[in-house]
Structure 1
Amino acid sequence: MNFDFDPDVEEMRAMTVAFARRELGGELGGEHEEAATAFDPDEFRRRWLLAGKQGLVGGVVPLDQGGSGLDAVAASAVMEALGYGCPDTGFAFSVAAHLFASLMPIVEFGTEEQKRRLLPALCSGERIAAHAITEPEAGSDALNLRTRAESRGDHYVLHGSKCFTTNAPVADVFVVQAATEPGRGFFGLTAFVVEAGAPGLSVGPPYAKVGLRGSPTADVHFDGCVVPLADVLGAEGAGASVFSSSMKWERTCLFAVYLGAMRRVLESTIEYAGEREQFGAPIGSFQAVGHRVVDMTLRLESARLVLYKAAWGLARGDEDDVAPALAKLAVSEAAVQLGLDAIQLRGALGVLGGEAETLLRDALPSRIFSGTNEIQKNNIARALGLSGNRRRTGRR
């Protein structure tokens, strides 16, 4: 077992951290948070284009399709570096959602024509993608979509609404899941690629969120939206497979962003504990403080190992749903607890504007998106042979 990255990957990590600090940085605090609540699409696109030139928004897409050709391990390493260098975790989250939830489905299920038409501009940063699946009545129950796609010969007509769609306010391309055969469950969904300017498609205003404020999120509505047959992603009835594949990438590589954010906050917490004095000594010398910092370090390092094990399997092509689910669980729970610990160690300063409370707010949604942690536990238990059907023992 070798825990070192290849020299090329280490170089990419260093370049990503330097780029993020230079172009995406800025100290966290009152001004940063106030600006984050008022979404500026022009500023977002300016930063997105810079990230595109850096190769961040197309990393795992093959070289001949406009990307950098990174495998899952290298992509996770770059996302971790982005989360470490960029104090705006919301922006880093948007980059990762675009890449893993939207572009990878096109890479893995798209036709050659779709790849040629869509991927180069999506990799360069000229265009932004969003994956629209969640609905008001279909969150964890993703197979129970109410958005319908009716076949009309050479095209489909979409009716319905999506919610909590990351990047929707700025997206140029949507990967959309709809029911083509309601009631058929896994085989009743179909994925489509829909251009933002398609008649019948409209996007609501950006949400005001507790965390990930740098990531624009909104509802998407389809009112008789016509989608050509050529824009079916995969085949009719393959939508659930498209979604499942994208979730493997998202639950692994996207969560590497949180590893970087946690490390950044952990390092600043250690620095604070060494400088802040009480009772004539740095608070880091107190056992209660030192033990809490050790616990923070353990959570981060443990979650990091779980995530990179999942990334290693994904890079090898393993058909494993458990490892990505475990990675999502480990990282999200560690991020929330590390945020709480970082606030506690800062005392009253921790509840003021700053990176500790920002990490906590940004971490809270991580236990919900990409499938709630409760759903991940259900899926893992099922894979371990623990179904919901209890065998009777003959005893009452």
Structure 2
Amino acid sequence: MDFDLSEAQRRRREEVLAGVRRQVSSLAEPRVPFSRAEWLEAARLGMTGLCLPSEYGGGGLGALDTALCLEAFTEGGADTGLAFAASAHLLACAVPVLDYATDQARAELLPGMAGGELVAANAMTEDGAGSDVGTLATTIVRDGGDYVLDGAKSFVSNASAADVFVVYGTSDRDAGFLGQTALAVPRQLPGIKVGEPFTKMGLHACPAGRVEFSGCRVPARYRLGAEGQGSAIFKHSMTWERTCLFAIYLGQMRRQVDDCVAHARRRRQFGRSIGSFQAVSHRIATMIQRMESARLLLYRACWLLDQGRPDTQATALSKLAVSEAAVANSLDALQIFGGPGYLAGAGSEAQLRDSMPSVIFSGTSDIQREIIANGAGL
């Protein structure tokens, strides 16, 4: 069992870190939504095409190498909301297009998605369908050479900036799990209405909003997989998202711990640095323990995916550990920085706000615990 990174992995990680640090002024400032310039800068660093094949302009990386690059992106100082937007585009959208789209649709969409010219958004969640994705009200009905798409999606990340939507809907109400179909839907098709971005607690650089489809005719060449395969396609994309996306929080936590250590050495009270008090030093030790434990679980889940052995329980353990560590560490960082940490612009409060949604999206913490319990035979 080898826990070391290869020379190629170390070199790639250092290249991402150096690239972000050169552009930190343009990548670190949250915007609502991200600008195209920021998006293209992330794309130039490879973030929008990491696991896509080189023939489409991607990096040709596996799950672990993809996660390592996403981790380095935020560790280097990139805004977590921008990193989330790029990860959702890549893992929840580009991956299912790569693995299930027609050759024609792949050739049309993937080069732009890999290079950042196209922004993608995953449209699954509805007002009445969150964790229970089997109750989609959106309908996808075959009509000749097209599919007619009707329904409304909510909490669509990248919605207002998107050029293409990966949409899931019900094609056969009586077929249950086999009654859902997936489509890649270009933004320019008639019958699509995109709402204004929501005002959110965190991840401000990633615009989330509603998307409504009304009699939207989607050519059949944009169908992903076969009719009725939508649930399986969504599960596949979520395996990649839950496994790799949360590496952005490992990078945030690494930078956060470094900032806390530097502050604990610099800040003095009662005639000595606050890091010399166990109340502070042990808090930082616990932060490191959470971070490193979560990292090992995430790397293991990625390794299993790369071995062709995706493990639902391993992925759930990883997602749960990383997301809850990100929230707990952000609360601890706020305590260590004290009053200044509570101020907007200082970093700590933004890290907390950006961490909170991680226990909700891609399956809530309670859903992950259900998966883990089911895997134990309960």
Determine the C-alpha separation between the residues in 1 that align with 2:45 and 2:324.
30
Pairing of 1:174-189 with structure 2 (within 5 A): 174-189=165-180
Does residue 375 of structure 2 align to residue 371 of structure 1? no
Aligned-pair CA distance for 1:182: 1.6
Among candidates 45, 53, 59, match of residue 50 of structure 2: 59
Does residue 93 of structure 2 align to residue 102 of structure 1? yes
Counterpart in 1 of 2:373?
Answer: 381
8 Å Cα contact 2:152/2:213 also seen in 1:
yes
Which stretch shifts more, 63-72 or 366-375?
63-72
Aligned-pair CA distance for 1:351: 0.9
8 Å Cα contact 1:104/1:246 also seen in 2:
yes
Among candidates 61, 64, 71, match of residue 70 of structure 1: 61
Counterpart in 1 of 2:287?
Answer: 296
Which stretch shifts more, 45-54 or 331-340?
45-54
SS class of match (2:109): helix
Deviations 1:295-321 (CA, angstroms, capped at 9, x unpaired): 000000000000000000011111311
Counterpart in 2 of 1:14?
Answer: 14
Pairing of 1:251-290 with structure 2 (within 5 A): 251-290=242-281
Does residue 339 of structure 2 align to residue 326 of structure 1? no
Deviations 1:304-351 (CA, angstroms, capped at 9, x unpaired): 000000000011111311111111100000000000000011111121
8 Å Cα contact 1:206/1:217 also seen in 2:
yes
Determine the C-alpha separation between the residues in 2 that align with 1:358 and 1:317.
37
Q: Give the AA of the match of 1:370.
A: S
Counterpart in 1 of 2:216?
Answer: 225
Cα 1:198–1:27 change in 2 (3 A) is closer
Determine the C-alpha separation between the residues in 1 that align with 2:374 and 2:111.
39
SS class of match (2:135): coil
Aligned-pair CA distance for 1:26: 6.2
8 Å Cα contact 2:140/2:147 also seen in 1:
yes
8 Å Cα contact 1:24/1:47 also seen in 2:
no
Counterpart in 2 of 1:394?
Answer: none
8 Å Cα contact 2:301/2:310 also seen in 1:
no
Q: Give the AA of the match of 1:206.
A: P
Q: Give the AA of the match of 2:193.
A: S
SS class of match (2:199): coil
**TM-score between the two structures when normalised by the length of structure 1:** 0.93
Pairing of 1:1-396 with structure 2 (within 5 A): 1-25=1-25, 32=29, 36=31, 39=32, 44-353=35-344, 354-386=346-378
Q: What are structure 2's unaligned runs of at least 5 residues?
A: none
Identity %: 46
Q: Give the AA of the match of 2:73.
A: L
Counterpart in 2 of 1:392?
Answer: none
Counterpart in 2 of 1:391?
Answer: none
SS class of match (2:134): coil
Aligned-pair CA distance for 1:116: 1.1
SS class of match (1:50): helix
Say what the alpha-carbon RMSD is for the aligned residues.
1.4
Deviations 1:277-300 (CA, angstroms, capped at 9, x unpaired): 110010000011111010000000
**TM-score between the two structures when normalised by the length of structure 2:** 0.97
Q: What are structure 1's unaligned runs of at least 5 residues?
A: 387-396
Aligned-pair CA distance for 1:23: 2.0
Deviations 1:154-206 (CA, angstroms, capped at 9, x unpaired): 11111110000111111111110000012422111100010001100110001
Determine the C-alpha separation between the residues in 2 that align with 1:27 and 1:175.
26
Determine the C-alpha separation between the residues in 2 that align with 1:183 and 1:216.
35
Q: Give the AA of the match of 2:15.
A: M
